[in-house]
Amino acid sequence: TQLLEQSPQFLSIQEGENLTVYCNSSSVFSSLQWYRQEPGEGPVLLVTVVTGGEVKKLKRLTFQFGDARKDSSLHITAAQPGDTGLYLCAGARFGNEKLTFGTGTRLTIIP
């Protein structure tokens, strides 16, 4: 059983559209991170959220941590081809230094 489920698994949209990716769990996390991975590379950290209800913005990307610290979302406004990649959420549980990764969302932005 995967601890962190991401949806959708695949998403292909036109340049300029908006999209939201979800990361859900039945477990509580002390912090949650979002990464983007491009082919042939390792994941690169985009953001870390640590407080329930927290919202962080990174240019056109908005990240939200659920109030109960069990879920998170990533919203991209006016998607661009450079946003194409595999998006991964990853959570750390209280008292455990192990980072658990989500199932991933493969995003393709069509020019």
Interface residues with another protein (CB under 8 A) are: 2, 30-31, 33, 40-45, 48, 88, 90, 92, 96-104
Distance in angstroms (rounded) separating the CA atoms of residues 90 and 94: 13
Bridge partners, 105 (sequence order): 87
Q: Minimum CB separation from another protein for residue 40, in Å?
A: 7
Instruction: Tell me whether residue 3 or residue 13 sits nearer to another protein (CB atom).
Output: 3
* Residue 92 · residue 48 · CB < 8 Å: no
From the CB of 91, what's the least distance to another protein, in Å? 9
Specify the residue, 16 or 52, whose C-beta has the smaller distance to another protein.
52
**Closest distance to another protein from the beta carbon of 35 (Å):** 8
Pick between residue 30 and residue 51 the one whose CB is nearest to another protein: 30
β-bridge mates for residue 11, sequence order: 107
Residue 110: burial class (beta carbons within 10 Å; 0-12, 13-18, 19+): exposed
